[in-house]
Each structure stands twice: as C-alpha cells, then as structure tokens.
Amino acid sequence: MRASTIAIACMLGLSFNAFAAEVKSISRLAAGPGDTLFVADWKAAEVHAIQLAPAPRQPAGTAFNVLDLEKLLSDQVGGARVTVEDMAARTGTGEVYVAVSYGANKTPALFVVTSDKKARRVDLAAAHSTSVALRDPPTMNEKFWREMPERSFTVTDMKWHDGELFVAGLSNQEFASTLRRIRYPFDARQSITSVEIFHTGHNMVETRAPIRAMSFAKLGGKPYLVAAYTCTPLVIIPLDELKDGAHVHGKTVAELGYGNTPAEMVAYTQTGDGKTQDFLMLVNYNRVSNIIPVSELEAARARPGIEKQVPYGKITGLEVSEAPLAGVMRLDNLDDKAFVAVRRDLQNDELQLVSMGKNLSFRLSDHISEYAFPDFSFKGHASPQAHQYINMLLTDEGFPDLIKPSE
C-alpha cells in the first residue's frame, strides 16, 4: 500500500492491514457479509474485520451438544482457565465462533467450534483483515468497582444490519452512552450519536449507562433500533435519528425488571397456525429471558413513552412471554428453527455450547420428568404431536436410543 494512502487512512481514523490485525482484546463478535467476522477490540479501541476461510454450506437441523466447552477450549490454550467473551454463529455453515480470554494477562483467542465437538483456533496473527479506529474511546484510567476499566465498555453490543455495523457502548464525551454506525468496507463515514433515555426504575434521565443488548425491528414501515439497558428499560429509536453528532432521546416503551443486566437480543421469525410472526428474544443475566413480539413494539410505538418511575418488580409497557434460558450468556440464530447458546448449566456447573428449538427454547435432557422414566408410555397421556416433538428433541440432544415407539 502506498505511503500516501496510509497517511490519508490515518487522517480519516482508519487503520488498514492487508494481512493481519494485532488483536489486543475481544469484547464482542458480529457476523458480517460474506465470510467477514467483526471483532471488537476494546483495548485498542478498534473493530477488526477478519476474513474467514470459505466454509461449505450445511443444511438446517445441525444440533450442538458440546457439554464440556470449558475443557474443550482450555485444552487448546495449554490448560489455562478460559472466560467466554462472546459467540457468533456463521449462518448456514454449522460453524460457531467463540471468543475467549485466558491466563493472567487475559490473552484473547478465537475458536471455531463445530457440532462434532471439535474446536480449532483461528490464527488472528495470520488472518487477512482490515481495522477501523473507534472515535472518542473512553479512558483507560477510570475503573468501575475498582476492577473493570471504563475502556472495556467501548463496545457493549455490535450488530451488522442493512449494510452497516452498529456499535453500542461508551465514548469519552459528556453524554457517554454512544451508538456508532460504521460502513464496511471501512471508510470515513463512521458516525457517533449520543443517546439518553428515561430509566423507569431509577426515575431519571440517563446519558452515561450504555446500551447492553440491541436488535432491530420495522415499526410503522420504518427501521428502528430496539435497545435494552441495565435494570431493564426497553427503548426504541428510529434509525434515521441516529446521525453523526446528534444527541437523541430514546423512547422508553417497557420496563422488564430491576436488578438485571441484559446479555443478548436476537431477532427471529416463527411460523405456525398459518401465520408468520416476528419476535425478539432478550436474554438476561439475572432474570428469565423475555420473548418480545414485534407486534407489541408496533403498538407501543403509537403510544406515549414511559416517562415516570415504575415500581421495582413491576413488568409494564409490553405483553411479553418468558423463556426458560437460565444460565445463557450468549445466544444466536443457528438456523431458521434453532438457537445456539453458550450457557452455564446451573445444575451441573458446566460451560456448554448447545442448540435448542425456537418454539419452546429448552432442552428435554435438562429435566428429570415423567418422560424420562423408562416405563413411561405415551398411550393416553400425550397427543401424537407431543410424542413426535419429544422424539425430535431426543434425537437432537443425542438420545435417539430413548425414543419410544408409537402406540
């Protein structure tokens, strides 16, 4: 690359590397177009676009039952303790990318895990990539609760949507809660919008606490950002308001529970009873997961936002359902029918990478119920549809030998 081109790139806040990125940390991953994987590097305050090797397409229906993910990944780094930072599924390939940090220095590593319970480390030092510097990153000097650097919240969530990379997190500005929009291939059109919201539990307008999980929905014919914050207000913002230099007030449409940090928000579609519906799955660290119908967000868009305190523990604003996803830290769409999740199995204290159907979002083998007893018979106790569904779960979860014949 010519020196003049490099100089121009530096002036624009861009960092180009034709062969490899120096990845100092990984906080979030996002699958991009083609064979691109975006890696958020909070220490460097950069996003790296890693070019993955082409992968063959796999049909839908691949099941993940990696019940010892911690050992599988630890063995790849000499037995060191690993901490999962993020996970992203590579749609249509049966590959799941898991980012970890390990060892005393919290060295970053990226692995591709497949349904045959194998893991392969991605050589970040050799991967073809380009990088973009994030404008106005937070300081490295300040820490939350004496341990967590403020800089580590530069990217709290990251999603590829409609030709742009949306990056939520913090900046070093007075209104620190920030939404960045970045074009790819990377160019000079990075924009920064500061975002404030009315926090329904804290009874105040907040400008610093960042978005923790986000997704997108079309409401009233327009694209919206849907964002969840700690403790847990849900907010919608029209994308056309997220302009460089703007300061926007998001519309709070729901309060989903106090004392909680959202972990992930995933958009998906379900078809049944002759109709197709769009949903968002909000996974939480400290509460049950929420199934949010987009139709509920559409109705809330037409109403005034919530600008007054909601009593602790009260769920208001949206009619949401619950999903039994306790222990899930990261969730993504594996295919049209299934999610894939990194979770801590709370009963067995095991770190796992597992898939589960979107219709019920649970695994039969997590439970010892009537179905588990060898002498249980479906005769007179369950519909043919229920029997068929349970047989499918047994197959997906690796227990085809326990399928009971139709009677």
Do residues 211 and 176 share a domain? yes
Do residues 60 and 198 share a domain? no
What is the distance between the alpha carbons of residues 88 and 330, in angstroms, rounded to a whole number? Answer: 8
Range of the domain at 34: 1-133
342 token code pair? 């990194």
Tell which residue, 231, 290, 289, 228, has the closest CA to residue 260: 231
Is 328 within a domain?
no
1 in Cβ contact with 10 (< 8 Å): no
Is 342 within a domain?
no
Is 332 within a domain?
no
What is the distance between the alpha carbons of residues 165 and 30, in angstroms, rounded to a whole number? Answer: 9
- Report the first-to-last Cα separation within the chain, whole angstroms: 71
Percentage of the chain beyond pLDDT 70 is 94
The residue ranking higher by pLDDT, 290 or 14, is 290
Task: State whether the Cα torsion 154-156-160-164 is positive or negative.
Answer: negative
What is the tally of structural domains in the chain?
3
Do residues 103 and 178 share a domain? no
Q: Of 133, 165, 199, which marks where a domain is finished?
A: 133
Please report which confidence band the pLDDT of residue 374 belongs to, taking 50, 70 and 90 as the band edges. Answer: confident
300 token code pair? 């809330």
Do residues 152 and 211 share a domain? yes
Question: Residue 391, Cα to own-chain centre: how many angstroms?
Answer: 30
56 token code pair? 């063959």
Do residues 315 and 168 share a domain? yes
| Per-residue pLDDT tens digits for 184-242 | 999 878 999 999 999 999 999 999 999 999 999 999 999 999 999 999 999 999 999 99
Do residues 314 and 388 share a domain? no
Is 348 within a domain?
no
Supply the pLDDT for residue 404.
82
Please report which confidence band the pLDDT of residue 19 belongs to, taking 50, 70 and 90 as the band edges. Answer: low
The residue ranking higher by pLDDT, 359 or 239, is 239
Supply the pLDDT for residue 10.
45
Please report which confidence band the pLDDT of residue 375 belongs to, taking 50, 70 and 90 as the band edges. Answer: confident
What is the distance between the alpha carbons of residues 156 and 176, in angstroms, rounded to a whole number? Answer: 13
Supply the pLDDT for residue 407.
61
Point out the least confidently predicted range of 129-133, 320-324, 376-380. 376-380
Please report which confidence band the pLDDT of residue 2 belongs to, taking 50, 70 and 90 as the band edges. Answer: very low
Tell which residue, 192, 201, 200, 196, has the closest CA to residue 211: 196
Is 329 within a domain?
no
What is the distance between the alpha carbons of residues 90 and 171, in angstroms, rounded to a whole number? Answer: 29
Supply the pLDDT for residue 385.
81
Q: Is the pLDDT of residue 5 over 80?
A: no
Supply the pLDDT for residue 388.
86
What is the distance between the alpha carbons of residues 47 and 130, in angstroms, rounded to a whole number? Answer: 9
Q: Of 115, 133, 151, which marks where a domain is finished?
A: 133
DSSP string, 83-128: EEEEEEEETTTTEEEEEEEETTTTEEEEEEEETTTEEEE--TTTS-
Do residues 154 and 187 share a domain? yes
Please report which confidence band the pLDDT of residue 382 belongs to, taking 50, 70 and 90 as the band edges. Answer: low
Half-sphere exposure of 281 (CA within 13 A, CB side): 25
Q: Is the pLDDT of residue 38 over 50?
A: yes
What is the distance between the alpha carbons of residues 70 and 74, in angstroms, rounded to a whole number? Answer: 6
What is the distance between the alpha carbons of residues 79 and 231, in angstroms, rounded to a whole number? Answer: 36
29 in Cβ contact with 87 (< 8 Å): yes
Token look-up 């050589």 returns: 123
Do residues 58 and 96 share a domain? yes
| Per-residue pLDDT tens digits for 80-128 | 999 999 999 998 899 999 999 999 999 999 999 999 999 999 999 999 9
Do residues 112 and 24 share a domain? yes
What is the distance between the alpha carbons of residues 275 and 298, in angstroms, rounded to a whole number? Answer: 17
Do residues 93 and 124 share a domain? yes
The whole-number average pLDDT for the span 367-385 is 83
3-state secondary structure of 225: strand
Q: Of 133, 159, 193, which marks where a domain is finished?
A: 133
Do residues 114 and 161 share a domain? no
What phi and psi values does residue 332 have, to the nearest 5 degrees?
-150, 165
| Per-residue pLDDT tens digits for 272-313 | 878 999 999 999 999 999 999 999 999 999 999 999 999 998
Do residues 32 and 162 share a domain? no
Helix (H) or strand (E) holding 290: strand 289-293
Is 407 within a domain?
no
Is 333 within a domain?
no
Is 331 within a domain?
no
The residue ranking higher by pLDDT, 404 or 217, is 217
